[in-house]
Structure formats: C-alpha cells, structure tokens
Amino acid sequence: MMPRSSRSRLQLSEEQKKKRRREQKKLSMRRARSKLDSVALEERRKKDRERYHRKKEEGLIKTIKDLKPRDQRQLRKMWREKAKLRREKEKIKRTTEQMLHENTPPSSPQPSSSPQQSSFSRIRSGKAVGARNKRRLKAKNEYLINRLIVLKRKLAKYRMRLHRIKKGQKRGNTVLVKRKIHDFFIDDEHSRLTAGKKETITRRKVKKQIRLLNDTILNLHKIFNNKTGLNISYETFRRHRPFWVIFPKTTSRNTCLCRQHANNDYIASALHQAKIISFSNATDVARSLCCDNILRVSCLERTCTLCFEKTLDYTVINGNDTILYQRWVTKKVPQIIKGNEKLCQKTLKECVRTSHQLLVNKFNISLSTFMQHLANIMNQYKAIRYIKQNLSPSQCLLHIDFSCKYGSEVQSAHFVRLDMAKVLLMA
C-alpha cells in the first residue's frame, strides 16, 4: 500500500482550525483541573467566580432580566430540559444504588478483614447481581422473540384467510354487476332488436340477434349509475357490454320515425347548420334541458324542480335571414283514378323556406310537445319491461312494429289507412 501523502489529508479552513484549537484548549484545561487537589481546586473555583462577577459588572455577561421576552422563553425552556435530564440521571442513579443495596447479600462478619478486602467483596457481589440480571433479561428477550415469531405466523395465516374471503366476495360482486350491466344493455329502452334474418352475430359458437344501441356508451353509463345507484367505472361498464349489442351506423341510428320526431329533427338540423344551436338533432336538444343531460320522465314532462326553468340558447344574429328546412306534411293532391280526377290524401316531404326568427319560434312551440312525446316513449318501455318481468310460463309477449323505414320515411307514407295493416295471429 502506498503511504498517504500530506496532500491527501482533509484541508480545513481557518475558521475550522480555530474552532478545533479552542476545543483542544478547553479539553486540556478540563484535564488539568481534574488533576488538582481539593485546595487547589477550591482556589481555582474562587478565581472563576471572581472572573464571572467581574464580567457581569462590566456587562459582558447578560442575565435573564436583560434579555428579550423571546430569548427569556428560550433560555427557560433550555433550563427546564436540562433540569429534567439531571433529575432523570439522579433517579437512575438512586434506583441503581437501591437495587444494588437490596440484591447485595450482607457480608459475613470478618473482624480480621481489611477495608480493601471488603471493597473487593462488594465488587464481586455487584458483578454477580449484574450477571443475574443479564441472564434474566436474556431469557426474557428470547421468550419475546419466540412469541413474536408465533404471532407473525398467526397474523400471516389470518391475513391470507381475509384475502381469500375478500376475493370470493369480489368475485360474487363482479358476477352480480356483470349481470346488471348485461340486463341494462339488452333492455328495449337502451337498445333495439333488429328484425333482419341475416342481422346476427356469432362469437365462440354463440349466435345472437344483433341489437343496436339507442345512445352513446358515455350517456348510457351515466344513466346506469343513476338508476342502479352503483358507482361503476366507465371502463368496467364498457368491458361488460354484450357482444351482440353494437353501435348503430349512421343509416340505422334513428329509433322513432314518426312525423313529430322526423320534423323536429329536420328543424334542429337546419338550425345547427345555420349555427343557431349547437345540437344536430332534437333528442340531444331535449337531453340538454334535463338534469345531468340524462332523459328522465320528470324532466321531460317539466315537473322536475331543478330543470323546469332551463331554456335553449339560440344565437340569432339577424332574424330576417332566410333558412331552408324539410318537413313531412299530409296534403290532398289530385290523382287520376280510372279516368276520373280525385283528391287523395298523401304524406309528402317538402322543402320550406322561412326566416331564422320564425323557425326558432316554431321550434320553441313544438319542443314541449316533443319532450312529452319522449316521456311517453319512456313510459311505454317501462310498461313493456314490467310486463316481461311478470309473464307467467303460459304467456308470451309480441312486439310488432309496422313503421317501415324505407328511405327514412314516416309510417303514413306507406300505410295511409289503418285498415291496410292487418296481422293474423294463430295459436
């Protein structure tokens, strides 16, 4: 090993060197004082007291009354801590002396023994007491260590048992939540069943008829949490969606194509294109007027105390500007039947040009009727769901939809008269 050079030593600053010299000087003075006899020590203490009083008279040493209130509190706090430490040390000393006195057996009388032998006897007895106490503490420590090992094993056992119980409960809760989400998605209020023979989907050799969602997953998630009272995350709700419940395409998104629905959608679409409102269909407009943007019967019927005063915001810059929109109307049109001209009632789609303000007023008037129409639809779904849940084994429910949606046309465009739609049911 190479010898350490003087350069490799730690380089101290001047302040650190002065501090070290002062400490060494104090230590040397303390050692010299400990070697003094009683007379010299008393003389030394007398000089220290005189020097202290002289410095105090000169103002070099401040008493507690000369300090500020904050410094006085800090000094008193330091005194209390030192006094407490001193009392604890004295208490430990007294306890140790009392224990040695109680556990030390009386020495047998030895008249011829010298003081030096008596001192050795007390030392041996003290060592014996210390060894006995050490053995007792060692045995106690071993017992506590073994006890701790046993308790740790029990704690691990019960922790694993609790983990297994919670895991089983979680598995049961997961199955229940999955069943509720499944029933929610296949409800007629939230998805509709397709009628085509080829509109099926197969996964893992399970073939199901396709159902189309009536709303977005985000809105359905809010409705589910509101109805069930559960706090299910969006990701869990989306993951447990049945595979045959899929998102509708643009051409199959409409669920009701009655005249009221179609005409209000046309008006909303025209106002949205003119940047008067921020919604492209009437259902979204109705949803914006409900609490939490969720369709509820009380909100749609305007009986809710929280949202019955909500209104739609319009951005009309110039109310006299013209706008073009479509609508379904029933008119009497002349037709030649067997060589004779007759007036026939038909449902036709026509384009209407009006002003921005007139169309906004028309939409405001028809919006309340449209929201009541949505409430009726929700009540009908609720009634159908109640009937399904209370069917007996000998009963069945038939849901027949006559609204042909060829080219997004309302039903009356195909079936003008009620007696043209006839159904024959045979049991």
Q: Is 326 helix (H, G, I), strand (E, B) or coil?
A: strand
Does position 349 have pLDDT exceeding 60, yes or no? yes
Boundary (domain end) residue, out of 231, 253, 275: 253
Same-domain pairing of 299 and 340: yes
Contact between 327 and 353 under an 8 Å Cβ cutoff? The reply is: no
Does position 222 have pLDDT exceeding 70, yes or no? yes
Q: Phi and psi of 351, rounded to 5°?
A: -100, 135
Q: Where are the alpha helices (DSSP H) in 13-67?
A: 14-34, 38-58
Query: Which pLDDT tens digit goes with each residue over 165-213?
Result: 777 666 656 888 888 999 999 888 888 888 778 889 999 889 999 998 8
Closest CA to 276 of 180, 355, 177, 388: 355
Closest CA to 217 of 184, 264, 188, 250: 184
**DSSP 8-state secondary structure symbol assigned to residue 248:** P
Q: Which residues in 119-132 are b (16+ Cβ under 10 Å) and which e?
A: eebeeebeeebeee
Query: Which pLDDT tens digit goes with each residue over 106-158?
Result: 666 555 555 555 556 777 888 888 888 888 888 889 889 988 999 999 999 99
Whole-angstrom distance, CA of residue 274 vs CA of residue 363: 14
Same-domain pairing of 248 and 353: no
pLDDT of residue 37: 75
Token pair for 2: 């190479």
Label the pairing between strands 211-213 and 245-246: parallel
Query: What range does the domain containing 298 cover?
Result: 256-393+403-420
Q: Is 290 helix (H, G, I), strand (E, B) or coil?
A: coil
Give domain status of residue 290, yes or no.
yes
Which residues contact residue 215 at a Cβ distance below 8 angstroms, ignoring those fewer than 6 apart?
Answer: 190, 223
**DSSP 8-state secondary structure symbol assigned to residue 108:** P
Give domain status of residue 67, yes or no.
yes
Only one residue has tokens 């429910």, namely: 397
| Number of domains, the chain | 3
Does position 419 have pLDDT exceeding 50, yes or no? no
Number of neighbours of residue 380 by Cβ within 10 angstroms? 12
Same-domain pairing of 244 and 146: yes
Predicted TM-score (pTM) of this structure:
0.47
Same-domain pairing of 378 and 412: yes
Same-domain pairing of 408 and 281: yes
